Amino acid sequence: MVNALLFPGQGSQEVGMGKELYEQLPQAKAILDEACDVAEFDLKDLMFNGPLEKLTDTQYAQPAIYTCSAMYLEKAKLDGIDYGYVAGHSLGEYTALYAAGVFSFSDGLRLVLKRGQAMSAENGKGIMAAVLGLEESQLQGYLEGIPDVVMANLNTKTQIVISGAGSAVDKVAGRLADREDVKVKRLNVSAAFHSPQMKNAAEIMTKEIETVKLHEPAAYVVSNVTGRPTKELAEIKANLLTQITGQVRWYDSIIAMKDAGVEAFYEVGNGQVLRKMNKAITFRPKCMGI
């Protein structure tokens, strides 16, 4: 059986995440203890006790989610789940690369800590909104002539997140206001992720990624920006460098794995965000939790 592991991104955090695993699974405990040694703050206390407002802050949410997903990966390994493909939604791509053996847990965590700090520095410079009910080609027409807004996340065929300057996102929402079959929901995020407004963060991460030793992957990696599987390390690195300002092509990623023969998807991490998305994309193969 060909399996794929899927790793969630921001939005999957909640107070208490990973606590049960930490208490019951020595391998998961070792992961979080290592993370606490690498981080410059008490990551375990934040994950277990909050407060939620701080845990949701990008600079803290990203290392918490990366670490929690790595803890769940230990459970997946103990459960005997072999995997030939990995993918992660936005931030989750870093845990996917760790799962594929591209870098060590601690090297990945150092990158995620820098990523969270760099992206947090852009707080207040833009917004994001989910558009429900239109496909990519249909939504494109509503963005025409409006600068500073892009389609950031193509989550399902008809769930697309737009990202950019607040006035630009609001203008798109205004154009869609008369469409009773379309819903626009502003997201509770602090910046315009996966848009050109993340240029400064991307430049910071480009330098950081160059400092980390990368290894040939043991599984196919499906990149956010291409939605295609690859084992070519140069391509994986180039896609990771593009990821902060590039699109999250999640729909394409799931379809590509399905077409490649993946028979089961496993969401590895806290929550059920990806399982819900996958249900809207395809009922076969199923997406299960760890």
Report domain extents, the chain.
Answer: 3-122+195-289, 127-186
pLDDT of residue 282: 85
Question: Is residue 234 scored above 90 in pLDDT?
Answer: yes
pLDDT of residue 237: 96
Query: CATH fold of 3-122+195-289, please?
Result: Malonyl-Coenzyme A Acyl Carrier Protein; domain 2 (3.40.366)
Reference 151, options 101, 214, 193; nearest CA is 193
Cα–Cα distance measured from residue 39 to residue 106, given in angstroms and rounded to the nearest whole number? 10
Percentage, residues of the chain above pLDDT 70:
100
Question: Is residue 177 scored above 90 in pLDDT?
Answer: yes
Question: Is residue 123 scored above 90 in pLDDT?
Answer: no
Question: Is residue 44 scored above 90 in pLDDT?
Answer: yes
Question: Is residue 273 scored above 90 in pLDDT?
Answer: yes
pLDDT of residue 188: 83
**pLDDT band at residue 108 under the 50/70/90 scheme:** very high
Cα–Cα distance measured from residue 250 to residue 156, given in angstroms and rounded to the nearest whole number? 7
Give yes or no: 90 in active site.
yes
Mean pLDDT of the region 9-14: 94
**pLDDT band at residue 97 under the 50/70/90 scheme:** very high
Active-site entry in 12, 69, 89, 90: 90
Question: Is residue 30 scored above 90 in pLDDT?
Answer: yes
Give yes or no: 194 in active site.
yes
| Alpha-carbon 182 to chain mean position | 25
Active-site entry in 194, 195, 223, 253: 194
pTM above 0.85, yes or no: yes
Identify the CATH homologous superfamily for domain 127-186. Malonyl-CoA ACP transacylase, ACP-binding (3.30.70.250)
Question: Is residue 172 scored above 90 in pLDDT?
Answer: yes
